[in-house]
Structure 1
Amino acid sequence: MAEHGSAMDYAEHEKTYNLFIGLVKWGSIHVIAILILMAIFLV
């Protein structure tokens, strides 16, 4: 468990958050592109 009184590493927290947001954004863009291509070529 975390010790009481320890400070958070905000720089590392922001870095991880930005990485997560970037992965979600680009992952969503890729999924949308795949769905559009499937709609064009499979229908």
Structure 2
Amino acid sequence: MIQSASANGEHARVVVIQIVSFMKKVAITIVKIATIQLIQDIICK
């Protein structure tokens, strides 16, 4: 393990991980909303 790894690179990786987890949450929310809309459309018809 290289001890002199730049803190900048480490920070960038943390930011990327945070962005990815946020995008996953957004995607899951969109899927849930879309599913509810679809169910409501089926029930209404």
User: Which amino acid in structure 2 is aligned with residue 28 of structure 1?
Assistant: I
Partner of 1:32: 32
Q: Normalising by structure 2, report the TM-score.
A: 0.74
Q: Which has the higher helix share?
A: 2
The Cα RMSD (Å) is: 1.6
**Partner Cα separation in structure 2 for residue 42 and residue 30 of structure 1:** 18
Give structure 1 regions of 4+ aligned residues with deviation exceeding 4 angstroms. Answer: none
Partner of 2:12: 12
Q: Normalising by structure 1, report the TM-score.
A: 0.77
- Give structure 2 stretches of 5+ with no counterpart: none
- Give structure 1 stretches of 5+ with no counterpart: none
